[in-house]
Amino acid sequence: MDDLDRLLINRLQRGLPLVRHPWEVIAQELHGTPEDLLDRVHSLLEDGVLTRFGPMFDIERLGGAFTLAALSVPEARFEPVTVQLNELPQVAHNYRREHHWNMWFVLACATADELAVTLSHIHTITGLQVLNLPKEQTYHVGLYFPV
């Protein structure tokens, strides 16, 4: 990662400009070309420096449903269960935690019914009890991690 990659990551954390050609605006700010910056984003994703680049939607306002959930996975089964969950299109994030509930993930579904079915499906395919932690209140926190 070079200085321009760092500048690009820092800039993108503030969001894309809401204009017809946002990459042209960012290219002007960073003294590059839109094509080069997009190539850099793709390279950073391929190299694993970035794990995701995309919009954040308020799924509930769009009629969908989501929840934070957790599993207590025996260490010997951790990797296979990770693969099982990551194959599900409803799993948005999946993280290891140092806790009894050692696998935490977010489920995003088109409906509340699909969410219930997906939670049940995870229990069925893993044989593990799923801890469902639905949102009770929304907080908006602006995160920024300079690199």
Which residues are tagged catalytic?
A: 93
Task: Show the tokens assigned to 70.
Answer: 């957790």
Please check whether residue 124 is in contact with residue 81, taking contact to mean a CB–CB distance below 8 angstroms.
Answer: no
Q: What is the DSSP string of 54-115?
A: S----TTTTT-EEEEEEE---GGGHHHHHHHHHTSTTEEEEEE-SSSS-EEEEEEESSHHHH
Q: Return the closest-CA partner of residue 56 out of 46, 48, 47, 66.
A: 66
Sign of CA dihedral 4, 13, 23, 53: positive
Q: Return the closest-CA partner of residue 70 out of 39, 93, 87.
A: 93
